[in-house]
Homo-oligomer: A and B are copies of this chain.
Amino acid sequence: MRDIYHDELDAIGSLVICMAKSVAVAMERATAALLDANLQLAEQVLGGDASVDALRNEIEERCFQIIATQSPVATDLRVVISTIHLAADLERMGDLAHHVAKIARLRFPEHAVPGEVRAVFEQMGEVAHSLITKVIEVVDGRDVELAQAIEVEDDSMDALRRKLFTIVLSDRWAHGTEAAIDVTLLGRYYERYADHAVAVARHTTFIVTGERAA
């Protein structure tokens, strides 16, 4: 009984990692689509979102089946419930990559991102990638110390967002209101992406802490 439970939980864990890797690729492509005004990459992100959503549904359904058939309690149950939350956060991160790609597509063949903020978005993309890479390691190895590093990187994403505002609100901003709106929304999407990475790390920390306490 316990072995079936843990085998299935491992299988679900692999699906979570698979989902996180899809999200990582989506945000990497979305950032490249944005920085290079690359329509093809934007379309790839927009076309790929359904498979992330499908993975989330499968993870949730299998967690549901585990609860229904194995009746886990205490820490075991917390692991399953945390996995359901975690999949929801990853799905949302996929949605945010989708939103970034949508703005890139909307402005094509123009660049949505003017030259002055390009470097900031490049850094945001790098932080986003570093975050999801760490998320995958945390979920895979359940490394709590890495989870703390994720919180620090979330702070640097917030700092990058503040930098965007400084540039857009300076007197030298010559790209008008439409570009300011795009930059505002894009900044928000990267910030939320980082927030959800933190949420995934926290769910995982909770799983590990629970396991240690058990």
Q: Contact string, A83-125, partner B, CB cutoff 8 A, digits 1/0?
A: 0110010000000000000000000000000000000000000
Residues from chain B with Cβ under 8 Å of A181 in the complex: 165, 168-169, 180-181, 184
State the copy count for this chain: 2
- Which residues of A are interface residues toward B (Cβ below 8 A)? 60, 64, 67-68, 71, 73-74, 77-78, 81, 84-85, 88, 165, 168-169, 173, 177-178, 180-181, 184-185, 188
**In the complex, what distance in Å separates the CA atom of A126 from the CA atom of B180?**
28
Residues from chain B with Cβ under 8 Å of A184 in the complex: 181, 184-185
**In the complex, what distance in Å separates the CA atom of A88 from the CA atom of B84?**
12
- Measured CB to CB, the closest approach of chain B to A116, in angstroms, equals 13
Residues from chain B with Cβ under 8 Å of A168 in the complex: 177, 181
Known interface pairs A68-B73, A88-B88; A177-B180 also in contact (CB < 8 Å): yes
Known interface pairs A81-B84, A185-B188; A169-B180 also in contact (CB < 8 Å): no
Chain B residue nearest to A165 in the complex (CB): B181
**In the complex, what distance in Å separates the CA atom of A181 from the CA atom of B165?**
9
Chain B residue nearest to A76 in the complex (CB): B68
What are the 4 A-B residue pairs with the smallest beta carbon separation, nearest first?
Answer: A71-B71, A68-B73, A177-B180, A181-B184
- Measured CB to CB, the closest approach of chain B to A105, in angstroms, equals 17
- Measured CB to CB, the closest approach of chain B to A192, in angstroms, equals 10
